[in-house]
Structure 1
């Protein structure tokens, strides 16, 4: 009886709410303002494209007006229509527009504004980031695609770079990163300090930390799926802007009512202007590289000169066509480029160092989709991706008395095609079936040589060419109701290079316990055939910025990686409070000491495993225009290798405690954000013994019995941002922003290593001394942005 009365009370309350009456009076009011006022008055939310709304003017007056009557009057006076998703959410589309992207997007969302505006939680458990709707974040003036991920619990960057995305203890090369279906192998500019993806072309970024969909394969950690805009505008739209590191422009051109073409370009301008922000980033990036070269000068009074140049750029293009009302086709193109040149000279010794590096990542994709009937949708995707790293270094001393040469080439060619069909059994249940084929060719070539008085003294070369074909069949069961969300899938993979068939089960389940609480759990198993190995041969001349190369699995010294992850948690959502608590456990096998960065402590590849367990916590609360959220992660990330202790020790990127507290406030056209980060310092290994041999060569013996037993000081910093938006005219908008990283200029230490430095002793003989080398984080770093959109 009590249950029936409760249901009756809820129904009555909903009825009263839905029939709420408000006095309405709008006279030549911009429709955008009308919608905002309506959201406030009736407690509803609208999703729409601001660009198509902003020109409309609306006039209407009525006492005791109901929401349904007001929406009907807006539809009568304009070309827009309202589509109701539930009692709270609506999406708005043009009556002449056939696309239902906004409905499709909202229909997948479970929790809106999961952290801040533009970040939502999907029913599959994945996190969706919409850059165009994203509020200003601490330390950012623009919605950087990768930096935005770091406010999500479980996503960290121990090396303080944008591209260094570590998801629940997984390393960056264990993440699957897709850009319009193209696999990308180099994610950053300026050695990872800036994301390689233009945020103004991006429609959505989907992050999966666990319970990954069965359609994703061949990586053992997280998935970052970047999708670009699919809008066919009524007129030419775009934007251009400038900050203290680069300039960019984006334009979207309608060719007809069914087709559109978009372009974007970004480029640094450090060749002719080095700003204070660029200099700060440069100091952070090149500090150990420069020190390694300068420390070879025995007499510290000797003068030297340095010419250090760096530039980067990226370009994208996309063609979209709606072949019919239910069929679409698109072509996407991406190209990123990084180039560095360094010339270091010591005139008195006739010492000359020259380093050059070129890194390119280019890709193309085709995507076809057709809804053959009300229940069946077909999709075919094909892509090609190529990655090239080309590095060379030369050193000469005293009229070529001694010369050294080092070079490194790493090339990847990756091509793939996939087909999947989605069949809707009913309005709650879908079945997804598909097939993937990928073919990856990899090559690396490492060379080192030195000559004395023109006579060749030593030559070394390591190279390998390899290829692997992967065939995958996958299926997924999706169930979505008010109380249950279930994504259960299986993926079968066959890897040709090692002739192995593997099975990957995937599961994400969420159960609504009551109106406010939900229980969730996930399970997944993954495999990976392509890894990055650490190489030290080409770093002999001091280059340590890009010492990783992609290499194929061979089931010998580079085994097949395998991960298993289990998680469970509770989600609370009520009265603008959101609390998400999720503990997890992850095990990774098939690791090697060289792929994990411990080969400086053993001369051989050493097989091992990793165990990671932790808990991610998010607490989020909104008060009118102010929002605050706390992100906390506890992680234990342990590795074990046969030749290194053969016992578990902290991983290089192990961060036991990570805490951040962020704030965002919007006041009219201004947005403010402030955030503080505090975390455990990175682990490092102490020196056990240092000595000079009889021949005068230095020996640094690290404490291999206690790897990573010590910790650097705890890391903390305070970041802030502010933006102001304004109108130049009816169709032109501007944005001005300023951000400051590390406001109180904390000198955080990111890593600690050791070098042997040549000196002259009291007997006037050459000897080496041990030097502790600390890589220090960014100091106080301001940035300014100016942007125009039309």
Structure 2
């Protein structure tokens, strides 16, 4: 009887013990060690064949974790199934249908499926996008790395491009864009209509809108941190596909259990085959450029010939070496290329217009990481980035009687090396600190030549070159428990070009008020040494398309930019409802009229500042397989320059109200998405005076006393997408997709400028008239995609 009572007591104790909540912390630990420690923690026993766990690691961190939750997480990350015999004993088998998932974000994530599947909100306030898990989005059949960011509140694109990412009033050149630690200085293909980053090589995209970690520096707006996969596959894997603008392929090859190599390539085929999708994009890109050339023809019945050619490509390579579970070494390479050729001839006059543009961005990075103990993790990174732009415009009039030659060259080389260490005091408190060194050289040259009958009548050269070395030390203190999450930091930068030391405090914290409601706040200060000058002189191509050049800070006309941003907000998450409301205020100094695009109203550099205040709102609800979300942003973005009114006026990209409503539905292997965007039109400046001088030259004077006082009509667009996934075999999988942008073919106006058009009057003399030039958005634009994974 005593023996039976003892056995009953032991079983009861085991049952109670197995339901205990234990603080769990595994960081890339061998799965065998995880199972042994789990047996000890919870008083259970596992029976399994060691072959099914060989070479597999596991990472997970959670306070007061129950056994059932831990088992569920192991099953999510590994191809294992736990079969329960009784309250103590389990036998483990292999899940033959398991799909590898290399993302372990639960220890960082506050809200999963923040907007839709594959978009999560981390505990430090950043947004994580996982392209391989991303649900279908309105107007997209593929997870475009940059385009996907636009469904996040506070992220907009007033010029309707993928690369034109404006984060809370900041311009694209104020964003820090990293690809495997490489700083990118050109993020688009086809003049920004397509992002330059292959989504099928991308593991995760992290977006920081505010409260940026102190580890990031030298930009005054958002951070877009793109990381590629670091997984060593068990066998050769890859994918390939095409849509109506380009084709791509990716392959990953394991050489052993410790090494692997991946390679990807994308290339447009518009130089070989022009599809209806490319034609739509081409009309959107070249519309004002083509119109400006045609408008210079006085007699409209005269024939002309035009040939626009464009092509782009990008290549990536990554080598991964993992000597053990605590150490890794990777080498990443990226090259992007854009080329444009334009030929415009008027045979009767023997006029020839030729434009050629080449843009390259190349990068290389090395990343070594080692966990020397349970508390210490070391990381050494180095990168090299090179950007180069070359443009030549050669215009020959009346059989070489008049020759106009304009050239533009812009180059930037950037080298950096950094060391950082993370020290975990316990499972709640971490200290992250490090040192960065970067050396950035920027140079540009603008030339213009006018030749009449072989004689140089006019020429000009504008050029600059400078190198800035930046030394930075930074530290972040991270505290995370069930009720508080704090990420505070400081960054100290020394800029050699201007011999200046600056201090940057950073803070993000979140406090749980109830189990479903949290309060958050952030503060950050940032500086930026590089700027993009807006130039208007080299050619009509430069004005309409690539009219920005990188220039280095100096103590003369390009000052150091500085920003300060504060924000507060609340986050509600319950019963598949997610509501996120975040007001903010940001001010920026060190701006100039030429770096901000207002030098068409004054020929001089004019120093100024900006201020932005607004509120971002997200409301998200899921009903079984259907999800809908509303994204609303209210923004007041104002600039002030000493020589331009000397009062605050709307920025060129000021969008007061931005509203989008999106839907996503999944039915078996089908996914559907529909979205509507409605926003305030872009601001523009009216013409104050138009006249022709005594020499017959036209002059257009804008109303510099009321800059951007007028608004274009409101912008509205409906988009839709559909994808279908299927299997060729157990290993080979396929996907078909169809998308439709601007379903109702709405003629939205993106910008408005003015031009002087020559005409022949009744006396057969040439005079000029003022013409309003509107840049129209994409019309109805279909796209197809076909992909194969193996």
TM-score normalised by the chain length of structure 1: 0.90
What is the RMSD computed on CA atoms of the aligned residues?
2.3
* 1:93 Cα deviation from its structure 2 partner: 10
1:243 correspondence with 2:260 = no
Count of equivalent residues: 729
Question: Do 1:292 and 1:542's aligned partners in 2 also have CA atoms closer than 8 Å?
Answer: no
Aligned mates of 1:388, 1:541 — CA distance in 2: 17
**Residues 46 and 612 of structure 1: CA distance in aligned 2, closer, same or farther (over 3 Å):** farther
1:455 CA drift (Å)? 1.0
**SS of structure 2 residue aligned to 1:648:** strand
**What SS does the aligned partner of 1:149 have?**
helix
| 1:398-409 to 2 correspondences below 5 Å | 398-409=398-409
* SS of 2:289 mapped into structure 1: helix
| Kept after mapping to 2: 8 A contact 1:48/1:93 | no
Q: 1:615 to 1:352 in 2, by over 3 A?
A: same
Mapping of residues 296-315 of structure 1, within 5 Å: 296-315=296-315
Matched, 1:76 2:77: no
Q: Deviations over 1:72-124 (max 9, x none)?
A: 44x235599xxxxxxxxxxx999xxxxx9533x22111110000000000011
SS at match of 1:277: helix
Cα 1:784/1:50, change in 2 over 3 Å: farther
Partner residue in 1 for 2:758 = 758
Give CA-to-partner distance per residue, 1:284-337, whole Å, 9 cap, x none. Answer: 000011011111100000000001100000000000011222111000000000
Distance 1:481 1:93, change over 3 A: farther
Distance 1:48 1:605, change over 3 A: farther
Cα drift, residue 249 of structure 1: 0.2
Q: Would the aligned equivalents of 1:562 and 1:589 in 2 still touch at CA under 8 Å?
A: yes
Is the alpha carbon distance of 1:382 and 1:263 closer, same or farther for their aligned partners in structure 2, counting shifts above 3 Å? same
The 5 Å alignment of 1:312-711 reads 312-540=312-540, 544-711=544-711
Tell me how far apart the structure 1 counterparts of residues 71 and 532 of structure 2 sit (CA, whole Å). Answer: 46
1:539 CA drift (Å): 2.2
For 1:522 and 1:382, locate their aligned partners in 2 and report how far apart those are by CA, in whole Å: 30
Using the alignment, how far apart are the partners of 2:71 and 2:413 within structure 1?
46
Q: Alpha-carbon deviation of 1:464?
A: 1.0
Given the superposition, is the C-alpha separation of residues 540 and 747 from structure 1 closer, same or farther in structure 2, using an over 3 Å criterion? Answer: closer
Could you tell me whether the CA contact under 8 Å between 2:237 and 2:252 is conserved in 1?
yes
**Counterpart mapping for 1:726-737 below 5 A:** 726-737=726-737
Q: Partners of 2:561 and 2:351 in 1: how far apart?
A: 44
Work out the CA distance in 2 between the residues paired with 1:611 and 1:449: 40
Unpaired stretches in structure 2, ≥5 consecutive residues: 1-15, 22-67
> Offset at 1:544?
2.1
Cα 1:49–1:562, aligned 2, differ >3 Å: closer, same or farther? farther
Q: 2-side partners of 1:50 and 1:272: how far apart?
A: 45
Residue number in structure 1 paired with 2:48: none
> How does 1:142-153 map onto structure 2 within 5 Å?
142-153=142-153
Give the TM-score normalised by structure 2. Answer: 0.90
Tell me the distance in 2 between the aligned counterparts of 1:265 and 1:179: 16
In the alignment, is the contact (CA less than 8 A) between 1:658 and 1:679 conserved in 2? yes
* In structure 1, C-alpha distance between the alignment counterparts of 2:541 and 2:166, rounded to whole Å: 29
Aligned mates of 1:79, 1:721 — CA distance in 2: 32
Q: Deviations over 1:474-497 (max 9, x none)?
A: 011000101000000000000000
Give the aligned partner of residue 264 of structure 2. Answer: 264
| Structure 1, 680-689 or 759-768: larger mean CA deviation | 759-768
SS at match of 2:287: helix
Residue aligning to 2:784? 784
Distance in 1 between residues matched to 2:696 and 2:226, nearest whole Å: 54
Q: Which residue number corresponds to residue 7 of structure 1?
A: none
CA separation in 1, counterparts of 2:481 and 2:353? 65
Q: Distance in 2 between matches of 1:739 and 1:69?
A: 52
More displaced stretch, 687-696 vs 609-618: 687-696
Distance 1:227 1:556 in 2: 37
CA contact (8 A) 1:119 1:128 kept: yes
- For residue 502 of structure 1, report the CA deviation from its aligned partner: 0.2
Contact 1:289 1:542 in 2 (8 A): no
For residue 204 of structure 2, what is the aligned residue in structure 1? Answer: 204
Matched residues in 2 for 1:47 and 1:741: separation? 39
Partners of 1:764 and 1:51 in 2: how far apart?
Answer: 79
Q: What CA distance in whole angstroms lies between the structure 2 residues aligned with 1:77 and 1:411?
A: 54
Q: Return the offset for 1:176.
A: 0.1
